[in-house]
A and B are shown apart, each in its own frame.
Chain A
Amino acid sequence: MKGYIFSLDALLAMLLFISSAALLPVLFSLDEQPSTSLISINEANDVVNVLLKNNVVQGMIKQDIQKQLVKLMPKGLKNRVEVKTYTKAGSTFTLSQTVTIGGAVPGNTFVYKGKKFFLTFSGKRISRYGEIDYWVWMP
């Protein structure tokens, strides 16, 4: 009987340990994850808006875009940016130029993906149609 109780206690202790170990990371991540995610999103959107407003993206020069990204993007955020421009011939949009900055997007963490459009002009008329896709995540 004593041995049985002892085994039960040991089992309970083990269960106690496992459940505590499983619970702790969840509890720790509860407060942190939503706020950091939302802040990351807003910051990334703001950075891209600044790049568009200042015509950095429209210039399609990789070094310029990269330099501004390093300068403006919060240090704790990883990012990937793809910029594409198109010309229109008839009813189809043909890819004209691509600029890619940053590494592969991870699949095991919260990643925010944003997309914006832009136009470049020749005089008052549209010369190129552009899209910028960007991904940000916490490393």
Chain B
Amino acid sequence: MKEKGALVTLSSLLLIFALIGLYALAFNQSATTKAFVNELTALNRLQEKKLNNEFNIDSLFYGNRDLNIDFNQGIVFFKQFIPLNANIPTQFDLNALTYDVNNFVSFIKAKETTDYNYSYDVNFGLNALTFTIKPFNTLVRQAVYSNLSKKGIEVIPEQLTFRGYAVRLKDENYSSIQGTINSGAAYYLELAFDNNVTRYNVSSAVLSDFNLLTVSGKTVNIKLNSIKPGSLSTNLMTNATLSIWAGIDYSNQASIPWIESNLIDFNLSKDTSLVSKK
């Protein structure tokens, strides 16, 4: 009888130890899970900040960039007017854009929460706006030069999976500037295709609409540039409507292309090392 009682007591004791062990395990697990949630929360917060900054930077560029992007039956068009025409009401102001971007970054730095250690390393040069055509990873770069004497679109495909380029270089309304060009000056449109550079004078129609340049079996980049000699003043150019179009024909692909712009292309980065103080 005594042994039975001792056994019951011993069993109860063991059960309590087991429960205490389980409790310790659950407590430890709870702490681990909490740390995991905190980590995920911090990463989530970082990602949200990146998206938010991209959204704001993009809204700054949206009003200022003069590069139109269009999709038509599997062809992605990048269209640029040279110089700015009536469709672009206000002239691209590089200084104003740089000023606004720097102010925005100052604002972020001033108002950023101190809970987390973010830092924004800004080196904003604005010499190129870069887009990527997804899912094909084709890089499209819009060159912007501070004196507006030269503009361009450059297409750098990662793979030659597309049909070809639909290129258009056109003097939409050359007559409006024809009489004002100083003697000896000329406005050129330049096409560099497969390392062969051809220069066109805009006094004649340079290429018929949407010439399809078929891609051969090697990497083929195209570069479309406008080159304006210094003797042609900006004022005289504001009524002109010249355009360059770079179309990349993905109509042979099952995937529908889309465009991504990347924050890092704007040379705006931030320290991703996160220090949680809470």
Contacts and interface: CB of A to CB of B under 8 A. Distances in A.
B20 A29 contact: no
Contact of A119 (B45, B90, B104): B104
Interface string B7-27: 011001101100110110011
B19 A116 contact: no
B40 A38 contact: yes
B55 interface: yes
B267 interface: no
Interface string B80-109: 000000000010010010001001101110
B252 interface: no
Contacts of B180: none
Given A37-B37, A41-B41, A16 B100 contact: no
Contacts of B111: 86, 93, 117, 129, 131
B59 interface: yes
Given A26-B30, A34-B37, A52-B52, 9 more contacts: A9-B12, A26-B26, A27-B26, A30-B33, A38-B44, A86-B111, A115-B112, A117-B52, A126-B104
Q: What 3 A-B pairs have minimum CB-CB distances, sorted nearest first?
A: A124-B63, A12-B12, A129-B107
A124 B15 contact: no
Contacts of A129: 103-104, 107, 111
A5 B27 CA distance: 32
Contacts of B49: 115-116
B217 interface: no
B48 A45 contact: yes
Contacts of A27: 26
Contacts of B6: 5
A15 interface: yes
Q: Majority SS of interface residues in chain A?
A: helix
A93 B107 contact: yes
Interface of B: 5-6, 8-9, 12-13, 15-16, 19-20, 22-23, 26-27, 29-30, 33-34, 36-37, 40-41, 44-45, 48-49, 51-53, 55-56, 59-60, 63-64, 90, 93, 96, 100, 103-104, 106-108, 110-113, 115
B52 A112 contact: no
Main SS at interface, chain B: helix
A30 B12 contact: no
B54 to A, nearest CB: 11
A93 B55 CA distance: 21
B58 to A, nearest CB: 11
Contacts of B60: 119, 126
Contact of B19 (A16, A88, A123, A126): A16
Contacts of B52: 52, 116-117
A75 B256 CA distance: 37
A112 B19 CA distance: 33
Interface stretch (A17-25, A65-73, A100-108): A17-25
Contacts of B22: 23
A121 B58 CA distance: 13
